Amino acid sequence: MTVQAPAGALSFDGTTGWRDAGTATQIQVLTASCVRAHVLNRRTLLIGLIEPLVMLTAFGQVFSGLVHVPGFPAGVRYIDFLLPALLLTTALQTGLQAGMGIVDDAREGMLTRLRAMPVWPGSVLIARSLAGLVRIMLRLLVLLVLAYCVFGFRPGGGPAGVSAAVALTLVIGWSLGWVFIALACWIDSAETLHAVAGMVMFPLMFASNAFVPVDGLPSWLRWVARCNPITYGIDAARDLSLSATAAPGVLLAVLTALAVAALTAPVAVRGLSRPR
């Protein structure tokens, strides 16, 4: 991540420019740098096109027979049932990438250079989270376009319901992304972070109602799914997408996600500030 000030902004070549800059300006410059380097990169954009297509093909086609399991909504096609869950899982995976960016910055010495400047550590992390939010928006856009044009995604909630589900996903994805950012600030190894994140992501995705209704799961897994917070986020996004109705679960999902961000963000700042 190369720190580069936009035209007309303060100079950030030395400590004087950063000292004169407020926190908002620091976040603005660092966010722009992250977006240019890690979001608008040609390889990143290409992967962003391919990965949603693979996910839709793998899950949408392989699991389409699950429409016959107990508890599946009557008259709902599997692609319409699945996509709200894919929106949320895609956002979570992108949050993990934001955490990996912190590890990459540490390995490349970027964090060491920033520590030599009067930069608030939280500015670096907020910039990463905002760049991750831009990446989530791009990936969700690709996912929706492919689902609509190639797989016939036509939910009952229409454009309004889908838009509300996307907005909910952005809030939840950005908030839960702070969990991975906090992990990255305390774990210096990319391999270890991947292993820990995998242990977190796998049960969140598969021990939930993402691919099959809770009633269609084995009894022990049904209990796990009902304790899984992602289940309620998927339920809320699915309700919005399929019927354009904001059930009480929507507010609960938003408040829970924001509470997670409020708890993990200070942990992340403390981890980044600790001596290395």
For 97-118, the pLDDT digits (tens) are 888 888 877 777 777 777 677 7
Q: What one-character DSSP code corresponds to residue 64? A: G
Q: Is the pLDDT of residue 12 over 50?
A: no
For residues 59 and 212, give the distance between their C-alpha atoms in angstroms, rounded to a whole number.
Answer: 11
Query: pLDDT grade, residue 85 (50/70/90)?
Result: very high
For residues 31 and 37, give the distance between their C-alpha atoms in angstroms, rounded to a whole number.
Answer: 10
Whether residue 24 is contained in a domain is answered as no
User: Mapping DSSP to helix (H, G, I), strand (E, B) and coil, where does residue 100 land?
Assistant: helix
Tens-digit pLDDT profile for residues 194-232: 888 888 888 888 888 888 888 888 888 889 988 888 888
Could you give the percent of the chain with pLDDT greater than 70? 91
Of 24, 35, 32, 25, whose CA–CA distance to 4 is shortest?
A: 32
Domain count of the chain?
1
Instruction: Give the pLDDT confidence score for residue 163 in this predicted structure.
Output: 95
Highest mean pLDDT among 16-30, 55-69, 178-192: 178-192
Instruction: Give the pLDDT confidence score for residue 275 in this predicted structure.
Output: 67
Whether residue 159 is contained in a domain is answered as yes
Whether residue 202 is contained in a domain is answered as yes
- The vertex-37 CA angle with 268 and 188, nearest 5°, equals 35
Distance of CA 40 to the CA centre of its chain: 17
The structure's pTM equals: 0.84
Instruction: Give the pLDDT confidence score for residue 169 in this predicted structure.
Output: 94
Whether residue 103 is contained in a domain is answered as yes
Whether residue 143 is contained in a domain is answered as yes
Tell me which residue range forms the domain holding 93. Answer: 46-273
Angle in degrees, 0-180, between the axes of helices 78-108 and 158-186, rounded to the nearest 10: 30
How many other CB atoms are there within 10 angstroms of residue 65's CB atom?
9
Tens-digit pLDDT profile for residues 229-276: 888 899 999 999 998 887 777 888 899 899 999 999 999 999 888 766
Query: pLDDT grade, residue 175 (50/70/90)?
Result: very high
Whether residue 139 is contained in a domain is answered as yes
Whether residue 157 is contained in a domain is answered as yes
Q: Is the pLDDT of residue 6 over 70?
A: no
Lowest-confidence segment of 9-13, 72-76, 78-82, 227-231 by average pLDDT: 9-13
Instruction: Give the pLDDT confidence score for residue 71 in this predicted structure.
Output: 76
Query: pLDDT grade, residue 68 (50/70/90)?
Result: confident
Query: pLDDT grade, residue 21 (50/70/90)?
Result: low
Whether residue 15 is contained in a domain is answered as no
Q: SS3 sequence, 122-133?
A: HHHHHHHHHHHH
Instruction: Give the pLDDT confidence score for residue 5 in this predicted structure.
Output: 39
